[in-house]
Amino acid sequence: MIVIRNQTILDILSERARFQPDKVVYEYLENGDTLSDKLTFAELEEIVTLYARNLSETCSSRNRIIIYASSGLSFIEMFLSCLKAGIVAVPVHMPRKSTPIEKYEKIFLDCETKHAIIAEEDETLLSENFVAMMKNRGVHLIKYKRAQSSSSDDVHSISHGTKLDNLAFIQYTSGSSGVPKGVCITHRNIVENSFMIEDAFEHTSETVMVGWLPTFHDMGLIGNVIQPIFTGFKCISMPPLAFVQKPIRWLKAISNYHATSSGGPNFGYDLMINNIKPEEREGLDLSSWKVAFNGSEPICRSTLSQFTQIYSQYGFDNTSHFPCYGMAETTLFVSGGNLTLKSSILSVSKSAFENKFVKLSSDHDAIKVVSSGVPAKTLDLAIVDPNTRIKLSNAYIGEIWISGPNVSQTYLCQPELSKEMMRAQIRNKNTESYLRTGDLGFIYNNELFVCGRIKDMMIFGGRNIFPQDIELLVGQSHPYLVHGGTAAFEIIIKGSNRLVVLQEVKRVDRKRINFEETKRDISLLIAQHFQVALHDLVFIHERSLPKTSSGKIQRSLSKTKYIDGILKKL
C-alpha cells in the first residue's frame, strides 16, 4: 500500500483496514511484562468508526474535547474517534488525586470545552476537587468504553469528511521554560511529519516498535500512535510507570519482540544505565535494535557512550544511536541522526563557544557537542541572530528557525505570540514565515547541533554559559549525586549575576555524603572549568527537581522555588 500526500491519517487507517485487515498494529503490555490487549487494523477501524458515531451525537463537529491519557489502548481509540467525528482532540496527562488543578483550569479556559472523555476504568483516579472544577465550568465527563459492533451496525456509515487543513488536535507544550501553550496541529501537519519520520528512521511495514512514552505527549502520540498506522507496522507499548518502576522491562520487550525501532528522552537511557542490575540483563538480545532514538536537547554525550559500554555485550550496536530534535510546534520531528553514520561529536573551543562562535579544537578543556542529526528534507532550517533577525553563517551559534509543512501556524488563544513566534521573517528575506524555536544551535556538515534554550542561557563576565554544561559537570562529579538531577541558573544580587546550582542526592546515599566537602569540590570544579564563582549549591531530595512530563528540567520554576525558599532541602 502506497501512502499519498492528499490522505489524512484517517484515510490511511481505512485503507489499511481494507487491505491489511488482520495485521496487528498495537499490542499492550499492561504491567510492562504481560500481553493484555491487541488490535488489528480492521478492529481499530471498526471501533473508531462506531465510537465516532456515538461522539457525533454528543458533541458538535469542530468542538474541542479534553482526552485524559489512559491506560491501555483506550487513549488511541478515543483520540482517533474524535478525529473521525471531526472533533478537535486535546490530549492531557491523566490527573491524579495529588495533582494540582491550576494547569488544567488554564487548559479548560483556553479550549472553552464543554466535554472531557475518560476511560471508564480510570474515572476513580480523578479527585473530588477535580470533578468539582469540571462541574463548575460546565464540563460534561464522558466515560469511554470500547464499542462492540452488532450485526445491524454498518461501520462504514459515517464518513469523517476531514480535510487536510482542518484542525486535528491541540498539543500542549511541555512548559520547560514557561507556561504550557496549546499548539494547533492540522491533519496536514500530522501527515507531513509522518513522512519525515518514516524517511529519516527508514521505517517500513516490517518495522517493529517498542514504546513506553506517554501518549498525551508529542513524542508518544506522533511516534508511537500515529507512525504505526502511517507506515503499517506493529507497536508494542507499556505504561510509562511500568518502565520507570522497572527499567529492564523496556529492554526485555525489545529483546523478546525483536524490536527494530525504540527510544525516548535522555533520562530513559540514564535509567537503564543506573537502575538495572547486571543480573537483570542476563539473556538480553538487543541485536535487532537498529534505531535507538534519543529526543533530548542538547544530547548528552556521556549517556550515549555509557549505554554503549554496558549494552554492546548484549548485541547493541553503537551506530544504532539516533539523536534527534523536535517539538510540539513542529508536530514532533525536525532532525535526526544519519543511520549510515555514527553520531557526530564535535570538539569545539570553549572560549569561542562562549562567544557564540564555532571553532574546532583539540584542547583539553574543549567542549564536546553531539549532533541532533540531519534536518528533514522538506524543511527549511536557518540559524538566525535572535536580535537582528539576520541569517548567520554556519560558523555561528544563533536561534534555530524552521519553516515547513509540519510546522503549526497558531498557538491557541494567543494571536500576538503566534505572529511573533510562528510567523517570523528573516531580515531581507520576506517571502517565507518561520517558527522561532527559542533554541540556540548551529549547523556543521549539514547536521544540526542544539546548544540550549535562549531563556536559560547565563551570562558571566560577558561570556555566554549554557546551564547544561555546568549541570553535566556537577551531576557526574560524585557517585552519590543524581545524574540528570541538576539545575543551574543565575540570579541577580546587587546588580551582579550569581550562579546557583540545585542538585539531587541519591536517596540511599543521603547519610553518607559530606555536604560541606562536596560543596567545596564542586565549587572548585566550576571555577576551574568555567571561571565562574559558585554563589550557592543546594542539595535536594531525589526526584524533587522540577521537570516536565517528558523529563526536561524546568529551570525557571527551579529558580522561582529557590527564590521563594520552598525547595525540599537536605
Distance CA 390, CA 396 (A): 12
Q: What is the mean pLDDT of residues 121-146?
A: 89
DSSP character string of 215-282: TTSHHHIIIIIIHHHHHT-EEEE--HHHHHH-THHHHHHHHHHT-SEEEE-HHHHHHHHHS--GGGGT
Place 409 in a pLDDT band, splitting at 50, 70 and 90: very high
The answer on pLDDT for 362 being more than 80 is yes
pLDDT for the residue numbered 311: 97
| Whether residue 541 sits in one domain with residue 559 | yes
Kindly report the number of other CB atoms within 10 A of residue 332's CB atom: 28
| Whether residue 485 sits in one domain with residue 345 | no
| Whether residue 464 sits in one domain with residue 439 | no
Q: What is the mean pLDDT of residues 443-470?
A: 90
Domain count, the chain: 3
| Whether residue 201 sits in one domain with residue 120 | yes
Q: Would residue 413 count as lying in a domain?
A: no
Q: C-alpha distances in angstroms, 524 versus 41, 96, 267, 365? A: 59, 42, 27, 15
**Which domain CATH number covers 56?**
3.40.50.12780
User: What 8-state DSSP symbol labels residue 50?
Assistant: H
Going by C-alpha positions, the residue among 449, 401, 451 that lies closest to residue 421 is: 401
Distance CA 212, CA 238 (A): 5
| Whether residue 449 sits in one domain with residue 462 | no
pLDDT for the residue numbered 483: 85
Q: What is the mean pLDDT of residues 398-414?
A: 96
Q: Give the rounded percent of residues in the chain with a pLDDT score beyond 90.
A: 64
Place 187 in a pLDDT band, splitting at 50, 70 and 90: very high
The answer on pLDDT for 296 being more than 90 is no
The answer on pLDDT for 151 being more than 60 is no
Residue 349 near residue 363, CB atoms below 8 Å: yes
| Whether residue 431 sits in one domain with residue 374 | yes
pLDDT digits (tens, 9 = 90+) for 533-550: 999 999 999 989 988 877
Grid coordinates belonging to 39: 488490535
| Whether residue 164 sits in one domain with residue 17 | yes
Q: Which of 211, 240, 269 is the last residue of a domain?
A: 240
Going by C-alpha positions, the residue among 251, 301, 241 that lies closest to residue 278 is: 251
Distance CA 42, CA 54 (A): 19
**Which domain CATH number covers 395?**
2.30.38.10
Grid coordinates belonging to 42: 480492521
Q: What is the mean pLDDT of residues 123-144?
A: 89
DSSP-based three-state secondary structure for 371: coil
**Which domain CATH number covers 511?**
3.30.300.30
| Whether residue 205 sits in one domain with residue 77 | yes
Element (H, E) at 564: helix 555-564
Place 200 in a pLDDT band, splitting at 50, 70 and 90: very high
Question: Across the chain, which distance is largest between two alpha carbons, in Å?
Answer: 77
Q: Would residue 191 count as lying in a domain?
A: yes
| Whether residue 385 sits in one domain with residue 505 | no
Place 387 in a pLDDT band, splitting at 50, 70 and 90: very high
pLDDT digits (tens, 9 = 90+) for 340-351: 655 688 999 988
Q: What is the mean pLDDT of the chain?
A: 90
Q: Would residue 267 count as lying in a domain?
A: no
| Whether residue 203 sits in one domain with residue 100 | yes
Q: Which of 240, 273, 294 is the last residue of a domain?
A: 240
Phi, psi of 312 (to 5 degrees): -65, -30
Q: How far apart are the first and last CA of the chain?
A: 59
The answer on pLDDT for 314 being more than 90 is yes
The answer on pLDDT for 166 being more than 80 is yes
Going by C-alpha positions, the residue among 172, 208, 195 that lies closest to residue 89 is: 172
Cis peptide before 228 (omega within 30 of 0): no
pLDDT for the residue numbered 162: 80
Place 157 in a pLDDT band, splitting at 50, 70 and 90: low
Over the Cα atoms of the chain, what is R_g?
24
pLDDT for the residue numbered 367: 87
pLDDT digits (tens, 9 = 90+) for 211-259: 999 999 899 999 999 999 999 999 999 999 999 999 999 999 999 999 9
Q: Would residue 247 count as lying in a domain?
A: no
pLDDT digits (tens, 9 = 90+) for 475-492: 989 989 998 899 999 999
Q: Which domain holds residue 206?
A: 1-146+159-240
Q: Would residue 183 count as lying in a domain?
A: yes
| Whether residue 542 sits in one domain with residue 520 | yes
